[in-house]
Amino acid sequence: MERFGLVGLPNAGKSSLYNALTNGAALAAPYPFATKDPNIGVAKVLDPRLDALAEMSKTQKTVYATVEVVDIGGLVEGASKGEGLGNKFLANIREVDAIVFVLRAFEDDDIPGPSDPLEHLRIVEIELALADLETVETRLSRAQKTSRMDKSVTEEMEALERAQVHLAEGRPLYRAGITEDDRALLAPHFLLTARRVLAVVNVAEDKIDTIPEMEAIVRAELAPPGSASANDVEVLGMSVQLEAEAAQLTGQDRIDMLEALGLGEGALPRMVRSAYHLLGLRTYFTTGEKETRAWTFNAGAKAPECAGKIHTDLQRGFIRADVIAWDELLAIGSWNKAKDLGKIRVEGKDYEVCDGDTLEIRHNS
Ligand code: GDP
């Protein structure tokens, strides 16, 4: 399962966002870590396409895709120099696939800390870059020693040297436009800033009309169009407090509250979808009377690999996939009708599955 880590200064709204994201999901998925670590939870990837297919199939059970969310506390200004919990927070971040910055933009005299999201961004980025610099310098001196005996580490050493130049200037690697080759060479070092970033700008509950403006301010600083970070960073504004309140409601009450506030489906589904997009994740569906389910796969994966998400037997014994796009199926109204109309395509092992495909896998058991 993919894992997102929430990172930010104290009182930015991380715990509130964590609660909003994982609310109710614990019921959806019994989860081994849940009892061990209160800061790791599971969030449902809400998806209206899945809901529509479930309704069409009058399905007994709807299974959403899920992601893990980790609330990473402990980052304060000077953490890389040992302030607060020091570098302890870093161990948790190394294990996440994408970093979610929570940047505070709400003012509240009772809650300490800056309310300028760019100030939050500056501190968070410098702490992460300094932490990476420390890692890179340690690894570099080791690599320099071994490279004398073993020329195969030269490439890795050079990648570390290039990273060091950026980090020493306080530039996180997602802003540095590092090549895919360098990214691969640096991967074993689990650098924090060598991953993709989603920045959540947390605006006040009574200032939701400023969301577009706040997003634009943060985007202009973090990922201006055409910049090295433009593809690796996304920015999303929301009122974490309102989202958290809505997340406590269920069904129609939740929809009514969000609609009354003009928040549409709410920002949380969009947030999870943005993170999915950043990580190159895609979704396909299976649907029937018993179960309608979303499956996560990596963009570009072929049909057998996608079948393997359901069960390795389906990958091993893969014969073919019957395929139709979710919206086409929905417009027709049922799988059998689509079949009668000849709208179900038969695809072989080289088929690259598309986001939103509905599949039925044929396999040898
Ligand atoms: P964390 O330290 O980053 O985990 O931040 P928390 O989620 O614990 O939030 C810190 C405090 O700010 C709590 O008292 C929250 O209720 C409050 N808070 C979070 N988001 C908002 C918001 O959008 N508006 C206001 N007024 N308070 C908020």
Give per-residue pLDDT as tens, 190-215. 898 988 899 999 999 999 999 999 99
- Name the residue among 46, 13, 34, 70 with its Cα closest to residue 244: 13
* d(C-alpha 246, C-alpha 240), whole Å: 10
Q: Is the pLDDT of residue 219 over 50?
A: yes
Taking the CB of residue 311, how many other CB atoms lie within 10 A of it? 12
Average pLDDT over residues 247-260: 86
Identify which of 74-83, 84-93, 300-309 has the greatest average pLDDT: 300-309
**Per-residue b or e along 82-110, where b marks 16 or more CB atoms closer than 10 Å to that residue's CB:** eebeebebbebbeebbbbbbbbbbbeeee
Q: Is the pLDDT of residue 230 over 90?
A: no
Identify which of 49-63, 90-104, 106-120 has the greatest average pLDDT: 49-63
Please provide the DSSP assignment of 247-311 as one string. HHS-HHHHHHHHHHTT-TT-HHHHHHHHHHHHTTEEEEEEE-SSEEEEEEEETT-BHHHHHHHH-
CA 108 to centroid of ligand 1, rounded, Å? 9
* pLDDT confidence band for 75 (50 / 70 / 90): confident
Instruction: Tell how strand 291-298 and strand 61-63 pair up.
Output: parallel
Amino acid type, 41: G
The pLDDT of residue 158 = 92
- Residue whose CB lies within 8 A of the most ligand 1 atoms, among 6, 9, 11, 261, for a mutation test: 11
Q: Which of 56-65, 244-253, 282-291, 319-328 has the lowest mean pLDDT?
A: 244-253
Instruction: Tell how strand 98-104 and strand 196-202 pair up.
Output: parallel
246 compared with 304, residue with greater pLDDT: 304
Q: Is the pLDDT of residue 76 over 80?
A: no
* pLDDT confidence band for 87 (50 / 70 / 90): low
Share of the chain above pLDDT 90, in %: 55
Q: Is the pLDDT of residue 263 over 60?
A: yes
Q: Which of 81-90, 123-132, 161-170, 270-279 has the lowest mean pLDDT?
A: 81-90
The pLDDT of residue 28 = 34
Residue minimizing CA distance to atom 15 of ligand 1: 13
Residue minimizing CA distance to atom 24 of ligand 1: 204
Are 170 and 129 in contact, with CB atoms under 8 Å apart? yes
Amino acid type, 229: S
136-192 pLDDT per residue, tens: 999 999 888 887 778 778 888 999 999 999 999 999 999 998 898 999 999 988 898
Q: Is the pLDDT of residue 252 over 80?
A: yes
Q: Is the pLDDT of residue 354 over 90?
A: yes
Quote the pTM value. Answer: 0.85
Q: Is the pLDDT of residue 31 over 80?
A: no
The structure tokens 């109204």 sit at 333
Residue minimizing CA distance to atom 12 of ligand 1: 11
Q: How high is the mean pLDDT of the chain?
A: 88
Average pLDDT over residues 323-338: 97
Taking the CB of residue 124, how many other CB atoms lie within 10 A of it? 24
Average pLDDT over residues 17-45: 62
Ligand 1, residue 18: give the atom nearest the CA.
7
- Residue whose CB lies within 8 A of the most ligand 1 atoms, among 6, 9, 16, 241, for a mutation test: 16
Are 274 and 46 in contact, with CB atoms under 8 Å apart? no
26 compared with 163, residue with greater pLDDT: 163
* pLDDT confidence band for 84 (50 / 70 / 90): low
| CB-based pocket (< 6 A), ligand 1 | 8, 10-16, 102, 106, 108, 111, 202, 204-205, 239-241
Average pLDDT over residues 246-273: 87
Beta-bridge mates of residue 115 = none
Ligand 1, residue 107: give the atom nearest the CA.
26
* pLDDT confidence band for 88 (50 / 70 / 90): low
